[in-house]
Amino acid sequence: NACFATPTNQAPITVEPGAPWAGITVGAADVRSVTGVSIVAIIRNGEPSPSPGPEDHFEVGDTVFAIGMPDGLEVLAARLSS
């Protein structure tokens, strides 16, 4: 069995007003399919929500922690920015 290592990055992203994915759920955004990244946690009002599921949503001001390839993180950042 071969083991393949790929470079991954981790990035906190703040959801901005007017962002395409502000106010919608992780499932509706189809984050994993669209970006290839995994959402590790969403911090809202100082309260962490680790391993958010498809029913969790992105709110303006949330800090989203994701892990994945740099190009996927760029796509995520664009969808959470205005």
Supply the DSSP symbol for 40: E
pTM, two decimals, is 0.86
pLDDT (tens digit per residue) in 23-39:
999 999 999 999 999 99
pLDDT of 1 over the 50 cut: no
Q: How many CB atoms lie within 10 A of CB 20?
A: 13
Tokens at residue 6, please?
Answer: 């790929």
pLDDT (tens digit per residue) in 37-48:
999 999 999 999
Residue 8's pLDDT is what? 64
Tokens at residue 47, please?
Answer: 């309260």
Q: How many CB atoms lie within 10 A of CB 27?
A: 14
